[in-house]
A and B are shown apart, each in its own frame.
Chain A
């Protein structure tokens, strides 16, 4: 199989995006690069980026696993919820 980017993989999944309602909130002022990079490397959907000394997050494409919350231990991820009912990822295989 050819190499695939995570973006392309997410493109195959079925989502009901809740664009204006982020279910995860991060601390944009959190600065510890090492901790940020752990969350960046942890997220299966690559939704965390570290750019110009800052953590950037986009909730669309979230696989709702909870890894970022567990890895960051309350530091990078401030609030973690599931999306509201019926929104977000819909697994067809599982």
Chain B
């Protein structure tokens, strides 16, 4: 047994890991966070939007001190063809309320801040150290190995992200299935703060979240998203892994193509690339949740595949924060009992099941199935374009009634029954 024994070791200083560290340290526990990046946040990437409610419970009013980018006050959803975009835009005064607010974030900055909060409570962070292996004795996880170094604890939280080689090594998490996993590629594009507010029609400090389907993934299951940051834009393309190879374009080409789209090009004009990043996104939803606990170990956040893609938004960060908090609460109780066996740690799953994490994941369990309707990505963007194009084009040619051109457009994209069927699936999944 090594001398450095901790109450808990956490692998990964992301949102789940640092939230768990903060909660444990607050309760007076000796906690060590092992992070492979040179600082907390150095390896962390996300699309860009954090729903604030989960962190609000832990750090009330966090947005006033945290490095958030903008408060999201405008939602856009677009169906795109090569030349057109049919867009729904929504904004409401209500989106400004702190209790329900969401924020664009850049994770390298945000996660660094959260880790510092945990550190201030007494959590210890070692950075630039990659946890290579688990220490397992008699079936119980006792710690982690990093090179020749062994670190031991009563319990380990694996919050080491979507790939989680450690959870895979324990057999708790399967290799990510191609049809349940997407790749995201993102550019952070620097622009003047005021230029962004003007181009997106938002007030200072406020911003826009935008999901796009159709053209961005060249008809594959996927899409693009854009989030306005303070003085940059996060623009990303996401494509389900099993779809790769179906398009003539490579994944990085798809992103470049979105940047040249007539709807997007003027919005990023004169922008300066600040960073190019990539990250996997699990899209299997509730049916992809791995084994969450075992003797001496818990999984949280992306490592536990806690992400849902429900087309009009993608969520994972609030799940990561809540699961990190609940993992910590579980450990605090286990410490009181002096028992870190699977049976004690099973209360983690019970708490998750009773929280918004599993309630919402279960609620949207059919969403992955909805995304399999290829019409959403192929035919419907074209149908929308054809209908609106005829409505809005006035050139002296004879006008036709909506019925005359909308029905053929609908027929071409699979017919009214297909649309009704997908509509029903959407009503059940969303």
Residues of A within 8 A of B (CB): 1, 3-4, 6, 9-10, 12-13, 16, 34, 37-38, 40-46, 63-67, 69-71, 73, 81-86, 88-94
Smallest CB–CB gap between B216 and chain A, Å?
15
Partner of A93, one of B38, B109, B146, B269: B109
Q: By DSSP majority rule, is chain A's interface helix, strand, loop, or mixed?
A: loop
> B265 interface residue, CB < 8 Å from A?
yes
1/0 per residue, CB under 8 A from A, across B94-110: the answer is: 00000000000011111
B278 adjacent to A70 (CB under 8 Å)? no
A66 adjacent to B251 (CB under 8 Å)? no
B176 adjacent to A66 (CB under 8 Å)? yes
A41 adjacent to B251 (CB under 8 Å)? yes
> B49 interface residue, CB < 8 Å from A?
no
Smallest CB–CB gap between B396 and chain A, Å?
37
A3 adjacent to B278 (CB under 8 Å)? no
Q: With A and B bound together, what is the CA distance between A36 and B90 in angstroms?
A: 43
**Do A91 and B108 contact each other (CB < 8 Å), given the known contacts A1-B189, A63-B277, A66-B280?**
yes
A81 adjacent to B165 (CB under 8 Å)? yes
B178 adjacent to A85 (CB under 8 Å)? no
13 additional A-B pairs beyond A1-B189, A44-B276, beta carbons within 8 Å, are: A3-B256, A13-B277, A16-B38, A44-B251, A63-B276, A82-B36, A82-B130, A82-B163, A84-B130, A90-B43, A91-B107, A92-B274, A94-B41
Which A-B residue pairs are the 8 nearest by beta carbons? A94-B108, A86-B128, A94-B107, A44-B278, A85-B130, A38-B245, A9-B276, A41-B250
A93 neighbours in B (Cβ, 8 Å): 106, 108-109, 188, 232, 274-275, 277
Q: With A and B bound together, what is the CA distance between A2 and B163 in angstroms?
A: 33
A91 adjacent to B42 (CB under 8 Å)? yes
Partner of B44, one of A41, A42, A70, A94: A94
Smallest CB–CB gap between A80 and chain B, Å?
8
B279 neighbours in A (Cβ, 8 Å): 65
Residues of B within 8 A of A (CB): 36-38, 41-46, 106-111, 127-130, 146, 162-163, 165, 175-176, 178, 181, 183, 185, 187-189, 232, 241, 244-245, 247, 249-252, 256, 259-260, 265, 268-271, 273-280
A65 adjacent to B183 (CB under 8 Å)? yes
B260 neighbours in A (Cβ, 8 Å): 3
Partner of B269, one of A1, A82, A94: A1
A34 neighbours in B (Cβ, 8 Å): 245
A12 neighbours in B (Cβ, 8 Å): 273-276
Closest chain A residue to B271, Cβ basis? A1
Smallest CB–CB gap between A73 and chain B, Å?
7
B162 neighbours in A (Cβ, 8 Å): 66
B181 neighbours in A (Cβ, 8 Å): 70
Closest chain B residue to A62, Cβ basis? B278
A13 adjacent to B275 (CB under 8 Å)? yes
Partner of A85, one of B46, B110, B111, B146: B146
